[in-house]
Structure 1
Amino acid sequence: MKVEDMKGGYTTGSCATAGMKAGLLALLDKSIVDQVVIENPQGQYIEVPIKAVEVLSDTEAKVTVMKDGGDDPDVTHGNDVETTVTLDDTGELRFRAGFGVGTVTKPGLAMPPGEPAINPGPRAMMKIVFEEHCVHGQGVTVTVSVPNGMVLAKKTLNHTLGIEGGISIIGTTGIVKPMSEEGFKNSLVPQLKVMKANGCETAVLVPGRIGQDLAEQVLGIHKNQMAETSNFIGFMLEKAVEVGFKRILIIGHIGKLIKLASGSFHTHNRMSDGRMESIVAYAALEGASQAVCEELFNCQTTESTFPILEREGLTGVYQRVVDRASLRSERYIANEAEVGIIITTLKGEILAMDKHAKEIGELEQWHIPCIS
């Protein structure tokens, strides 16, 4: 199914805003509604169904909205967002994080440390509702809760970004469009901004769990200094430079990072898959015979080449991979940063590292092992 044919939805920010509006209607107009229309900061109108309205007192109401992300693969899809509105006479609009909604603990995000993780987009939408329904002198405290938020947060990057206690209430437009590749890539960038804001001088990029576990458990790199890249290593290299990093270390499985050595920086197998070709080329440079090259070429995975390379005394291939991957990575970002490479096995054992990785490791005082 093409992205343009997929069903859209609304964000957690729209859920909270709709809940706020339905709560105010219940308290101020004595009207219980089953849907509301809210306005986003771009002037678009969004119709949101209301699951339940509960009037708790003359000044407080709780509204439940079920998040509907349409065809977007969002961890919050189908979960309830509960918004409690409490009237007061402060004349102000205030926000609180209820159960399952996080609190910002680190600088570098859209909201400062100590603030509820309710992003500027949802706050702007709720301000529109506040100004529409509240007369001068009336104040409102909006408390947003997500009953399943603590569980959902484990499936997000929130802990890495410094958001503790639950998920974020997000959305710049209030509308969920089916996730494009560009949208997913951009969702990875805040990791780098938080790292930089917290004083990190080296960005550690990890395509997946193998590199992350090695970095944290063996090398002693704190998880707050790591950013996941998924398949978008080139994109994250560029963004790391934009954020201001002059030193970058990439750690991951050889099957992923060997692609960098051949100049492929989008590493999804449908976009780039010359792993065997690269191994054969480096093996030939190490002196492999045509017969051994044929044997390597017929392997299905990089892991299955290991016994052959070991048997033939061709493990120098690994060093060629990291040296070339480092060179190509630095060339990719116009030599605006130093890039070190560490490649591993599926078990997280280090196969090789280039000289930049060793230098960066020593400078950062990580536990970089000696590799013969």
Structure 2
Amino acid sequence: MTTATPFTLPVWVAAAARAGLEVLLEAEGIPAAGASSGVSREVQPLELLEPPGVELVPVEGASSLGDGQALGMARCDPGDGLDLTRGLLVWVRASWWDPPQGAEPPQRLRLEAGEGLGVLAATRTLCLSAYARRLLEVNLLPLVPAGRGLQLQLVFPRGRELAGRTSNEAFGVVEGLALIGTQAVVQRSASPDRLQECLEALRQWPHSPSPADLVLVIGENGLDLAPRLGLPAHLLLKAGNWLGPLIVAAAEAGVERLLLFGYHGKLIKLAGGIFHTHHHLADGRAEVLTALAALEGLAGPPLERLFAAPTVEAALAGLRELDAPLSARIEARLALAIEVRSQAYLARYGRFPMRIGAALFDRQRQLRVAGPCGRELLEAFRHGLG
């Protein structure tokens, strides 16, 4: 199966869920305005939201499980390019439940993590983006009879296996794949096509609501977290790995205040002068962190252990256990180095008035540190300050 549009994982989940819901409705003889007939259930009409519009999304099928339950199935097709979700089978077990009296529509949908769905290690809750939940609510709740609720158990049969090939665990997500897509269409962070898409977005930036301000977000985790921290959605642009060209393009587009927002294990490369952050191109994270730590006075065996740590996250955690104030100083030095090196990178290409700040989060999706300019921009963007 190859679809014309490369859909993200939340879209395939929503399609499978809708197919299962239709089976539940048919079993009770409940008419559902807008539901597809049994003949055409192999495709599901979904309102994609991001971008808006209805698209027909293929599904594998749906079947009654008896006892008020049904199973919808879809198979993920992310389009061309390397993507570990290619061919991933998605199961959604749908059943009715009775919501509390007076509940608003969002409380009429209850989601449960089945096998292969990632959960947050700290809370054991399903790792789900706001977009994924909203996609389900918009496409399912209008079909649910008044006064009733819908329960969905989401299952990725190979999710646990595939999660071992991702950085999920680095962000505190365990037992499966996170459902964190923020839009309907797959975007390739490392591909030249993705770079061109970002460059085109920046060419249009002077016509945006806030043309002088921009937040370049690295990765889906950052794109999901940024609005939760109060950063306005209209300022966000997912940057992927092509940070150097995008910093220059932002300046050429007239951006005056740029915030780099991403996981510290990714943005640390900028502190070492590496402005394409894909790991296949260059790394240097251990070397950068060790150099910064040495500048703060760390030496001997502790410095050697820092260099040998398997990840930036593990290295910083070890530092905090050893000497929390020292760790905080090193992180502050890291954020400042990212800002300084980014400003220096921009200066190679011309004289621009753009100021660059950096804000870094950790694997628990907690804002960890920001540079001097980053703190100023975070405050300004959150509160709409000019």
TM-score by length of structure 2 reads: 0.50
1:95-106 alignment to 2 at 5 Å?
none
* Structure 2 unaligned blocks of 5 or more: 13-44, 59-73, 80-130, 132-138, 140-182
Q: Which residue of 1 aligns with 2:218?
A: 207
CA distance in 2 between counterparts of 1:265 and 1:302 reads 18
1:309-324 alignment to 2 at 5 Å?
309-310=319-320, 311-312=322-323, 313-315=325-327, 316-324=329-337
Would the alpha carbon gap of residues 193 and 295 (structure 1) be closer, same or farther in structure 2, given more than 3 Å must change?
A: same
CA distance in 1 between counterparts of 2:189 and 2:359 reads 31
The one-letter code matched in structure 1 to 2:380 is: L
* Structure 1 unaligned blocks of 5 or more: 1-65, 80-98, 106-115, 118-144, 160-164, 169-177
| Matched-pair contact (CA < 8 Å) for 2:190–2:240 | no
The one-letter code matched in structure 2 to 1:320 is: R
What does the per-residue CA deviation read over 1:211-265, in whole Å, with 9 as the maximum and x for residues that have no partner? 22332112x1122210001111112212212222111001111110110001101
CA distance in 2 between counterparts of 1:224 and 1:350 reads 20
Would the alpha carbon gap of residues 104 and 304 (structure 1) be closer, same or farther in structure 2, given more than 3 Å must change?
A: closer
Q: How many residue pairs align between the two structures?
A: 225
1:255-334 alignment to 2 at 5 Å?
255-310=265-320, 311-312=322-323, 313-315=325-327, 316-334=329-347
Are 2:243 and 1:233 equivalent residues in the alignment?
Answer: yes
Would the alpha carbon gap of residues 67 and 243 (structure 1) be closer, same or farther in structure 2, given more than 3 Å must change?
A: farther
Would the alpha carbon gap of residues 67 and 205 (structure 1) be closer, same or farther in structure 2, given more than 3 Å must change?
A: same
Candidates 345, 362, 368, aligned match of 2:379? 362
CA distance in 2 between counterparts of 1:103 and 1:300 reads 39
| Matched-pair contact (CA < 8 Å) for 1:210–1:346 | no
CA distance in 2 between counterparts of 1:353 and 1:222 reads 18
Would the alpha carbon gap of residues 344 and 102 (structure 1) be closer, same or farther in structure 2, given more than 3 Å must change?
A: closer
What does the per-residue CA deviation read over 1:323-372, in whole Å, with 9 as the maximum and x for residues that have no partner? 1111111111225211000111111222211111122233334499xxxx
What does the per-residue CA deviation read over 1:67-98, in whole Å, with 9 as the maximum and x for residues that have no partner? 777xxx9449xx9xxxxxxxxxxxxxxxxxxx
The one-letter code matched in structure 2 to 1:321 is: L
TM-score by length of structure 1 reads: 0.52
Q: Which has the larger radius of gyration?
A: 1
Would the alpha carbon gap of residues 295 and 229 (structure 1) be closer, same or farther in structure 2, given more than 3 Å must change?
A: same
The one-letter code matched in structure 1 to 2:317 is: P
The percent of aligned pairs where both chains have the same amino acid is: 26
CA distance in 2 between counterparts of 1:286 and 1:180 reads 34
Residue 104 of structure 1 deviates from its aligned partner by 11
What does the per-residue CA deviation read over 1:185-204, in whole Å, with 9 as the maximum and x for residues that have no partner? 11223443555422212110
The one-letter code matched in structure 1 to 2:220 is: R
CA distance in 2 between counterparts of 1:202 and 1:240 reads 9
Would the alpha carbon gap of residues 217 and 167 (structure 1) be closer, same or farther in structure 2, given more than 3 Å must change?
A: closer
Residue 208 of structure 1 deviates from its aligned partner by 1.2
Q: Which residue of 2 aligns with 1:44?
A: none
CA distance in 2 between counterparts of 1:303 and 1:325 reads 17
Would the alpha carbon gap of residues 190 and 102 (structure 1) be closer, same or farther in structure 2, given more than 3 Å must change?
A: farther
The one-letter code matched in structure 1 to 2:56 is: P
